[in-house]
Amino acid sequence: MCVETLETATYWSQLHALRDAVRGALITSLTAPGRRPVVACHISHSYETGASLYFTTLVPRDPDDPVGQWRRAKHAACEAILGLGTITHHHATGVDHAPYLPAEIGPLGVDVLRAVKSSLDPSGVLNPGKLI
């Protein structure tokens, strides 16, 4: 089995659209002959302004390309999130989500992160090349 979880968060007004977009992207990217995914979603955290959606996906593993199967699903879900929610919630961005961060925070946000990293880690020894 291929089992994966991912999280995102958004405003209440976007919650249904985000859920539908991510669920649809996962189903489309993981469906293949003999492989029909199950995509579950629940609200893991709620706030005055919005909530965090936590997705769990199960699908028979592609025996020929299990890593590619996961990558395609992860990419589809991340693309669905952009513009509707945040690429992450409380688990931080991490290596898997780093390619999507510039689309979320924009060029100025990337510049700010780069400046903070440079100031706090001038030798570049803390997680080099992982986020910026």
pLDDT at residue 94 in the model: 83
Output the pTM of the full model: 0.90
pLDDT at residue 13 in the model: 98
Instruction: Return d(Cα 11, Cα 69) in angstroms, integer.
Output: 30
Instruction: Return d(Cα 71, Cα 77) in angstroms, integer.
Output: 10
Estimate the share of the chain in helix, then strand, then coil, as percent rounded to the nearest 5.
45, 25, 30
Is the Cβ–Cβ distance between 22 and 81 less than 8 Å? yes
Instruction: Tell me which H or E stretch contains 52.
Output: strand 50-59
In the chain the domains, ranked by start, together with CATH numbers, are: 2-90 (3.30.300.330), 92-132 (1.10.45)
pLDDT tens for 34-81 read 999 999 999 999 999 999 999 999 999 999 999 999 999 999 999 999
Percent of the chain with pLDDT over 90: 86
Least confident of 36-50, 84-98, 103-117: 84-98
pLDDT at residue 42 in the model: 98
